[in-house]
């Protein structure tokens, strides 16, 4: 397969996923305007007040405005303290590449990069991600072209059902940024936080090795 990705012809109309995304974004926008108007305390106000004396900072409860930087873009949403980063990415922002799997930090299908390192988005409160740089598979695209890790997964047939793949790709991306030239053992360790129930592990390891070469070229 050629490594130059074929872009779909432009202007064919909205894809199913694009349609769903636009719906969820507009739903968020609606909530945002109504609830902000009711005067929910912002995180910034809460911490600023507290910094002046040693009284504990204001407690945040219920919906609160939250700005997340995802793939270089700032998104402001209303989020509850109990919402995970995974929940906000998928349900508020329509960024659906991080997948809910075990939702207990075991399977890795929700792996995203937080300030450049791989993390489980299911085990991170969205409020804790404020001010950090979040990256998902969507951010690895060059326009409509696949990034080198994605391309390597495609070429090496490193998936069957594909559900774990976005998490696998982000784990591989994090690994290769820190170890551009990993040994097979380093790849094994770097990918050890991601399960594939189809058992595509052999191809995944091959794909990560191939991606290392692609990233350098």
Partner 1 sequence: MFEDFAYARPESVAQAAQLLQDETAHALAGGSDLLGCLRERIFPVKTIVSLSSLKELRGIARTAEGGLSLGALTTLAEVAGSTEVQTLYPGLAQAAAEVASPQLRNQGTLGGNLCQKTRCWYYRGDFDCLRKGGASCLAVHGENHLHCIFGGDACYMVHPSDTAPMLQALQATVWVAGPAGDRSLPLEQLFMPPAQDPTRETTLQPGELVTHIHLPPPMAGQQTSYRKVRARRSWDFALAGVALAVIIEDEIVTSCRMVLSGAAPFPWQATQAEALLTGAALTRERVRAAASAAMQGAEPLTHNAYKIELFKGIIQEELARLVRE
Q: Minimum distance from CB of 38 to partner 1 (Å)?
A: 18
* DSSP string over 93-142: T---SS--SSSSSSS-TTEEEETTEEEEGGGSBGGGGTTSEEE-GGGG-B
Q: Residues 6 or more apart from 78 whose CB is under 8 A from it?
A: 28, 31, 32, 35, 36, 40, 63, 64, 65, 66, 92
Candidates 11-19, 145-153, 190-198, 204-212; binding stretch for partner 1 (CB under 8 A): 190-198
Residues 124 to 143: which contact partner 1 by CB under 8 A? 124-125, 127-128
Nearer to partner 1, 6 or 52 (CB): 52
**What angle is formed at CA 91 by the lines to CA 86 and CA 97, rounded to 5 degrees?**
55
Q: Minimum distance from CB of 89 to partner 1 (Å)?
A: 15
Binding mask 79-98 for partner 1 (x = CB under 8 A): -xxxxx--x-----------
Residues 96 to 115: which contact partner 1 by CB under 8 A? 103-105, 108, 111, 114
* DSSP string over 148-203: HHHHHHHHTT--SS-TTHHHHHHHHHHHHHH-SS--HHHHHHHTTT---TT--HHH
Per CB under 8 A, does 148 bind partner 1? no
Burial grade of 8 (CB within 10 A; 0-12, 13-18, 19 or more): exposed
Candidate residues 158, 164, 175, 210; the one interacting with partner 1 per rule CB under 8 A: 175
Per CB under 8 A, does 212 bind partner 1? no
Candidate residues 5, 25, 40, 46; the one interacting with partner 1 per rule CB under 8 A: 46
| Whole-angstrom distance, CA of residue 30 vs CA of residue 26 | 6
Q: Minimum distance from CB of 213 to partner 1 (Å)?
A: 21
Q: Minimum distance from CB of 7 to partner 1 (Å)?
A: 32
Q: Which residues bind partner 1 (CB under 8 A)?
A: 43, 46-47, 50-51, 54-61, 80-84, 87, 103-105, 108, 111, 114, 117-120, 122-125, 127-128, 171, 174-175, 188-190, 192-194
């Amino acid at each position: 397969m050629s490594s130059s990705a074929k872009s779909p012809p432009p202007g064919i109309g909205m894809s199913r996923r694009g349609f769903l995304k636009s719906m969820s974004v507009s739903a968020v926008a609606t909530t945002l305007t109504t609830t902000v108007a009711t005067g929910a305390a912002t995180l910034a106000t809460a911490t600023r007040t507290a910094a002046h004396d040693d009284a504990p900072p204001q407690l945040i409860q219920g919906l609160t405005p939250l700005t997340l930087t995802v793939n270089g873009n700032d998104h402001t949403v209303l989020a509850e303290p109990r919402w995970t980063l995974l929940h906000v990415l998928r349900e508020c922002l329509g960024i659906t590449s991080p997948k809910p799997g075990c939702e207990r930090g075991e399977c890795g299908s929700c792996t995203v990069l937080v300030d450049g390192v791989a993390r489980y988005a299911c085990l991170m409160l969205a409020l804790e991600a404020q001010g950090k740089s979040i990256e998902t598979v969507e951010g690895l695209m060059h326009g409509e072209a696949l990034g080198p890790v994605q391309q390597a997964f495609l070429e090496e047939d490193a998936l069957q059902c594909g559900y774990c793949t976005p998490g696998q790709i982000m784990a591989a991306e994090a690994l290769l940024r820190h170890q551009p030239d990993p040994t097979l053992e380093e790849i094994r360790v770097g990918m050890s936080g991601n399960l594939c129930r189809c058992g595509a592990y052999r191809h995944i390891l091959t794909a990560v090795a191939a991606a290392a070469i692609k990233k350098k070229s």
